[in-house]
């Protein structure tokens, strides 16, 4: 039996991992799908006071409250910021860190740092216009979803807390790299805001060489879109189980 903690990306909630959680439970594993403050079933807590540190505390709190060790931590998209922070602050609790088509920052970068200026400006403008300083979700078609999957994600997405967007993250790359890492590159279709991350995780000099050191890093490609927990749960579940 292994311990999995699954963290969704922006606009989503723990609900998006449902198909993967079912598969992991069927194999006898413990799987906790975290919902970050202000989204999903916690959307009633949406507030301009929510920051990146709020979301880091959400995930650390699950690990602490459930007394989990040897955790396979899977972080999707925006949550790559959170996974990096958890690996920096509590590496001894992690067995493997899986970046699922996720942001992999450099020290001092924010989630927005690698985005095109037009994307950045549009999201910040939307947040400024919102009473809760949040920005709305895109159409799920950009994640490669169609038909029932598209409809499910579209009706479940919620605005994302805006103060998580430009918050810089300080961390020690060598400490994060002490945890074995996998980057899941979702290739059909590729999401544009992750394009700048793909060459990083294939660069031996990333994090001044620390990326390939420590526990080691690998890249695995999945021929699906940006929400593989929805569009390819069998393949993603199998990949996560192998990390345990």
- 3-state class (DSSP) for residue 232: coil
CB 243 within 8 A of CB 96: yes
Of the candidates 184, 173, 31, which has an alpha carbon nearest to the alpha carbon of residue 98?
A: 184
CB 226 within 8 A of CB 186: yes
Whole-number CA gyration radius for the chain? 16
Catalytic residue among 48, 77, 141, 231: 77
207 half-sphere exposure, CB direction, 13 A CA radius: 24
Tokens of 51: 């920051």
113 is catalytic: no
DSSP element (H, E) containing 7: strand 3-7
CB 29 within 8 A of CB 2: yes
Annotated catalytic residues are 77
């Amino acid at each position: 039996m292994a311990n999995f903690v699954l963290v969704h990306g922006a606009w989503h909630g723990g609900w998006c991992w449902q198909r993967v959680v079912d598969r992991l439970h069927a194999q006898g594993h413990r799987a906790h799908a975290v919902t970050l403050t202000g989204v999903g079933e916690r959307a009633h807590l949406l507030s301009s006071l929510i920051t990146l540190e709020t979301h880091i505390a959400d995930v650390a709190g699950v690990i602490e409250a459930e007394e989990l060790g040897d955790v396979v931590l899977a972080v999707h998209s925006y949550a790559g910021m959170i996974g990096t922070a958890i690996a920096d602050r509590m590496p001894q609790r992690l067995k493997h860190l899986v970046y699922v088509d996720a942001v992999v920052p450099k020290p001092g970068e924010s989630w927005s740092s690698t985005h095109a200026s037009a994307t950045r400006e549009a999201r910040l403008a939307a947040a400024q216009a919102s009473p809760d300083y949040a920005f709305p979700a895109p159409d799920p078609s950009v994640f490669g979803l169609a038909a029932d999957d598209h409809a499910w994600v579209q009706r479940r997405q919620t605005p994302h807390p805006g103060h998580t967007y430009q918050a810089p993250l300080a961390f020690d790359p060598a400490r994060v790299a002490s945890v074995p890492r996998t980057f899941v590159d979702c290739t059909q279709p590729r999401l544009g805001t992750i394009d700048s991350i793909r060459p990083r995780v294939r660069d031996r000099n990333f994090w001044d060489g620390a990326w390939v050191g420590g526990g080691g890093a690998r890249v695995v490609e999945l021929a699906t879109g940006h929400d593989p927990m929805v569009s390819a749960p069998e393949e993603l579940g199998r990949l996560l189980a192998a990390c345990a």
